[in-house]
A and B are shown apart, each in its own frame.
Chain A
Amino acid sequence: MYPIVLLSFFGIVTLFLGFSKSKNILLPATLLFLIIALAGNFLEWNKGPLLYFYDMLRVDNVTLAFNGIILLSAFMIFAISGGFQDNPDSEPAEYFGLMLFSLVGALMMVGFQHLIMLFIGVEILSVAMYVLTGSNKRNLRSNEAALKYFLMGAFATGFMLFGITLLYGATGSFKLEQIQGFASNMQVGSESYILYAGLLLLLIGMLFKVSAAPFHFWTPDVYEGAPTIFTTFMSTVVKTAGFAALFRLLSGSFTGVYGFWWIVIAAIAVLTLLVGNIGATSQNSFKRMLAYSGISHAGYLLIALTALSKPSQNAIIFYSLAYSLSTICAFGVLMLVSKEKTIGGQPNEYYDAFNGLAKQNPLLAFVLTVSMLSLAGIPLTAGFWGKFFIFTSAAERGIIWITVIAVLMSTVGIYYYFRVIISSYLKEGDLVKIRVAPFYKVILVLATFLTILFGLAPGIFEGLI
């Protein structure tokens, strides 16, 4: 609960800080805010389930773990944004303010216990993201991405709302445990149909946010058009929050009708895996490939939701963490590299921008390699264990066929993840030096270190929850 209050306050403070002449204070200040929020988050560790805001928000260790991942990702992203110093047109205070507010929305999605909370959380997060996507006002691509994201997002919100409405009509409550109570003892009748329709529509709205197929169409375009730093934010924070919310929703309210929905989620998971992995192979832009890779990872996470067995919870948490760390590294390196190598004044985000990276900057090449290995799920990286836990959860439920598809698709994944490794190690590039700010370097090394550490000893993390 503390981070929600703190961040709302800090967001306003950040906007005021924007009035000051010196822009240099913004970045340290927001980083400090995030550290305070992180500390506040873990104040409630092991305090058991606590309910706040008229029982609309629940704080337990699962919530706190998701919060931790979101805040840590945000911290890293803020840090590698460099305070938006290099772009004179930018409005750092507003960007930081919006990101802080959107974090509030994300945290509400993680801990909601009442559907109003969920709706408000989703909207706070989404509206902030619409603005940030279009923050590069003069760039047509950024504009287009913003409009697409906005129109489709609002459209999906409509479905989500209608779903919530139907759920309310069937159960008479917005509270998770009351819906759970109703769904578990429900007789088949008109009310059960309304409940089912409501559940499906709500799920569709949420699945849109986590870019599951066939609701994924916005993802590649928006990820590509948005400024890279906000793409990073979208693909880590928004995705983690979305899955936390889906997990809370399904495990908190609908375990009683598992037989009804699991096959829907399973089918969508398979479709998402196919679209994400196969779509990524034909991309020439690294950034767009990462968008498809984001879709495919949503597919893996959906498998854990499909299973919803004992290991699912930890699997989703671990996977989100592993995915966020690697994604931040990948986008971080992309930002540095594409800035140095431009095509017609625009950053070069294609694979060939990475040619010869190993000679130009071995550290960046190493960071990129580790993150790609982790995303591909090669052992001794965190990504491997993420996949392992997810498949274990499916195995515990006895759904092996979905694992077969997922493992096959992860083979496809190797093709496009390794392409950039081959580019950076085996291809020749111009000899430009790529300079990296020390703090930037620290963040990348830290994320890489954590990826390897969790890859060697995932038990460390298991012990934490």
Chain B
Amino acid sequence: MSASLLILIPLLPLIGFLINGIGFKTIPKGAVGIIGTLAVVASFVISVMTFNDFVASGSQPLVVPLFEWITVGDLRIPFSFQIDQLSLLMLMIITGVGSLIHIYSIGYMHHDEGFGKFFAYLNLFLFFMLLLVLGSNYVIMFIGWEGVGLCSYLLIGFWNKNTNYNNTARKAFIMNRVGDLGFLLGIFTIIATFGSVEYTEVFAQASSFSLEDPVIVTICLFLFIGAMGKSAQIPLYTWLPDAMAGPTPVSALIHAATMVTAGIYMVIRSNVLYSLAPSALEIVGIIGGLTAIFAASIGLLQNDIKKVLAYSTVSQLGYMFMGLGAMAYSASMFHVITHAFFKALLFLGAGSVIHAMSDEQDIRNMGGLRKKLPITFITFLIATIAIAGIPPFAGFFSKDEILAHVFEHNKLLWVIGVIGSLMTSFYMFRLLFLTFFGNFRGTHEQEHHLHESPASMTIPLVILAVLSAVGGFIGVPEALHGSHHLAEFMSPLYDAARQANPAGFEPTTLSHSEEYLLMGVSVAVALISAVVAYVMYVQKASVPAPDSAEKSGLQRLVYNKYYVDELYDNVFVKSTKTLSNILYSFGEFFIDLFVNAAVRLTSFSAKMLRKTQTGSTGDYVFAMVLGIVAILFWKLLL
């Protein structure tokens, strides 16, 4: 494969960024959209060509050196790209979903005055994201890592320059910096241990380490802190829901389909290291499981359409980490792929709804939209079924594979996972029913304005819907008489890890009947939740109470009709509600407490420090002498 072609993949979005970024005031709107979109589509086409070449040439991973970059002492960091199964899959997702979202944005952002700037940022984001997955060493990955973070903030702050922006941005920034801190420390520990940051060299050397070597465990934990920040895991997750302040296509592209999966990419990329550190993986799995159920339970009660999806994203990322914890790398990647399809679709669908509702985001003010927005409705329905894990749509296969592996690994986590998917199915169907069924609850103006979105928005929806529906067939498990294409394709990635830790890669011991049973359980809980949601929100047409008002008498009457419902309401809904509220405020409270405490501590010590700067020369000299005496005493007399 020619290097010149490969370099075009990240270069094209960069060129798009430069053209739109420099000339966004002079280039006409139509041209801006076309330039920005073309750059991404072209890089998608090249990615596909690269993929075909790769498969045709026998799936040999290769490192394409571009130029010598840096030499520090004995450490040599070349600027080179690595082409293998993992980076190719990520490339296809990023450029593929990216292209669709660009097309969508042409319609969605049409009325916005910052149209050119928006496309410039999107292209820049893609450039960094592609750099992140293409780089052949941790330093390039880090550059991309920071770059996508930067673009994410630029785009979060795209609309809300003045309102509360400082606070949100600060929180997001601190959380991500904590993550980046971990990543950086991981890199430096890698340098200290292996004397290199190139994947191939690091992994080759790592294979000679013994299982549970403390250095490897440390590296893995450091790297995982980085992943926690970027992929919004407990306790660094609260920035992601806040990030929903950005335009909806951004939420779809950055905060659902691509950037937030960077953490998973990193762990899979470092699978050799992680396979050598089962105790680190254990932590990864537990954090993932906790995040999955925690975020899902918060999602149960959110009334902002995008907030629900945001918590859902956090929760789904938790599933992926849970899978990684069970060393089911391929299964997690599988879920990354299917999640990219259906979550992008959900966000874009939500965008279409918001567009139609004149920027209304509260689902309590929606309802009955399925007649007015038929395409959006059908695609949204498909995505909902997919995320709920109902066969044969994409989410079923990937989630089921993760859960099967987790079941083998740790039964308790599996239970958590199943409860999580129960909640997932419930809040997603709740969202669907409240938005598209029942009667319209908004204002007359909004009702008058309701319209299906233009073709540039619906075509991406349809394409993504098709992918969400059939995307799962790349990894049909053996038990269902499929052949697992994806797992086979990715299998060479783990050769080194397999040698280092053979026990972790033993084939499944689950019999087919056990697998059927597991599948049956997860499908059953998903269906039950869907039915419950249907009963609650369509049959009884109950609407979540407004933040202040009490339930009306009529509603109470409806409730009282069914004894079962009352029981359900008292025992199940209320307790869940309370739990969910507690968890929500607990999480927010603690994280805010942490962030605020860090800020307070800094400002407090800053105040103390300020007091030492008295302005009097005598005091300064005195402090100096104290310092000198301390040093001399310490080094000469002690």
- Tell whether A and B belong to one assembly: yes
Partner of A392, one of B147, B150, B191, B612: B191
Partner of B620, one of A217, A282, A394, A459: A217
A201 to B68, CA, bound (A): 43
Partner of A264, one of B178, B619, B635: B635
Listed residue (A393, A398, A400) with the most chain B CB atoms within 10 angstroms of its CB = A400
B-contact 0/1 string along A401-422, CB 8 Å cutoff? 0011001100110110000001
A378 to B68, CA, bound (A): 22
B-contact 0/1 string along A247-279, CB 8 Å cutoff? 000000000000010001000000000010011
Partner of B631, one of A204, A314, A379, A414: A204
Q: Are B610 and A279 in contact (CB under 8 A)?
A: yes
B270 within 8 A of A: no
- Given A282-B606, A414-B177, decide whether A200 and B623 contact each other with a Cβ distance below 8 A: no
Q: Which of B608-638 contact A (CB under 8 A)?
A: 609-610, 612-613, 615, 617, 619-621, 623-624, 626-628, 631-632, 634-636
Stretch among A72-80, A103-111, A147-155, A235-243 lining the B interface: A147-155
B69 within 8 A of A: yes
Which residues on A sit within 8 Å (CB–CB) of B191?
392, 395-396
Which residues on B sit within 8 Å (CB–CB) of A310?
73-74
Q: Are B185 and A151 in contact (CB under 8 A)?
A: no
A118 to B623, CA, bound (A): 26
Q: Are A314 and B606 in contact (CB under 8 A)?
A: no
Q: Are B192 and A385 in contact (CB under 8 A)?
A: no
Shortest CB–CB separation between residue A333 and chain B, in angstroms?
Answer: 22
Q: Are A311 and B72 in contact (CB under 8 A)?
A: yes
Stretch among B158-166, B368-376, B429-437 lining the A interface: B158-166
Partner of B609, one of A264, A278, A458: A278
Among residues of A, the one whose C-beta sits closest to the C-beta of B71 is A462
B189 within 8 A of A: yes
Among residues of A, the one whose C-beta sits closest to the C-beta of B181 is A407
Q: Which of B173-201 contact A (CB under 8 A)?
A: 173-174, 177-178, 181, 184-185, 188-189, 191-192, 195
A contacts with B: majority SS: helix
B contacts with A: majority SS: helix
Among residues of B, the one whose C-beta sits closest to the C-beta of A401 is B185
Q: Are A407 and B628 in contact (CB under 8 A)?
A: no
Q: Which of A374-406 contact B (CB under 8 A)?
A: 378-380, 385, 388-389, 391-396, 398, 400, 403-404
Which residues on A sit within 8 Å (CB–CB) of B615?
221
Among residues of B, the one whose C-beta sits closest to the C-beta of A426 is B161
B427 within 8 A of A: no
B515 within 8 A of A: no
Which residues on B sit within 8 Å (CB–CB) of A275?
609
A197 within 8 A of B: yes
- Given A152-B620, A200-B631, A278-B606, decide whether A393 and B73 contact each other with a Cβ distance below 8 A: yes
B607 within 8 A of A: yes
B360 within 8 A of A: no
Which residues on A sit within 8 Å (CB–CB) of B619?
217
A159 within 8 A of B: yes
A391 to B192, CA, bound (A): 10
Shortest CB–CB separation between residue A382 and chain B, in angstroms?
Answer: 12
A372 within 8 A of B: no
Which residues on A sit within 8 Å (CB–CB) of B603?
281-282
Q: Are B192 and A462 in contact (CB under 8 A)?
A: no
B560 within 8 A of A: no
A380 to B605, CA, bound (A): 32
Shortest CB–CB separation between residue B71 and chain A, in angstroms?
Answer: 5
B602 within 8 A of A: yes
Shortest CB–CB separation between residue A265 and chain B, in angstroms?
Answer: 11
Shortest CB–CB separation between residue A41 and chain B, in angstroms?
Answer: 24
A16 within 8 A of B: no
Which residues on B sit within 8 Å (CB–CB) of A221?
613, 615
A332 within 8 A of B: no
Q: Which of A288-327 contact B (CB under 8 A)?
A: 309-311, 314-315
Q: Are A282 and B188 in contact (CB under 8 A)?
A: no
A193 within 8 A of B: yes
Shortest CB–CB separation between residue B455 and chain A, in angstroms?
Answer: 37
Partner of A459, one of B69, B165, B606, B624: B69
B146 within 8 A of A: yes
Q: Are B623 and A214 in contact (CB under 8 A)?
A: yes
Q: Which of A115-168 contact B (CB under 8 A)?
A: 147-148, 151-152, 155-156, 159
Partner of A426, one of B67, B162, B635, B636: B162
- Given A315-B72, A422-B166, decide whether A155 and B624 contact each other with a Cβ distance below 8 A: yes
A5 to B596, CA, bound (A): 57
B283 within 8 A of A: no
A-contact 0/1 string along B71-113, CB 8 Å cutoff? 1111100000000000000000000000000000000000000
Partner of B628, one of A204, A394, A408, A457: A204
Which residues on B sit within 8 Å (CB–CB) of A92?
none
Q: Using A147-B617, A393-B73 as known contacts, list a sample of 18 further A-B pairs with CB atoms less than 8 Å apart, ordered by residue number in A.
A: A155-B621, A155-B624, A196-B636, A200-B635, A214-B626, A217-B623, A220-B613, A264-B634, A264-B635, A310-B74, A379-B147, A380-B147, A392-B188, A398-B192, A407-B185, A415-B602, A459-B68, A462-B72
A interface residues, Cβ below 8 angstroms from B: 147-148, 151-152, 155-156, 159, 193, 196-197, 200-201, 204, 208, 214-215, 217-218, 220-221, 260, 264, 275, 278-279, 281-282, 309-311, 314-315, 378-380, 385, 388-389, 391-396, 398, 400, 403-404, 407-408, 411-412, 414-415, 422, 426, 457-459, 462
Subset of 26 A-B contacts with CB under 8 Å: A152-B620, A152-B621, A196-B636, A204-B631, A214-B623, A215-B627, A217-B612, A217-B620, A260-B635, A264-B635, A282-B609, A379-B142, A379-B147, A392-B188, A393-B73, A395-B188, A396-B195, A403-B185, A403-B188, A407-B181, A411-B174, A414-B173, A458-B69, A459-B71, A462-B70, A462-B71
Rank and list the top 7 A-B pairs by shortest CB-CB distance, nearest first.
Answer: A310-B73, A311-B73, A214-B627, A282-B606, A217-B620, A395-B192, A395-B188
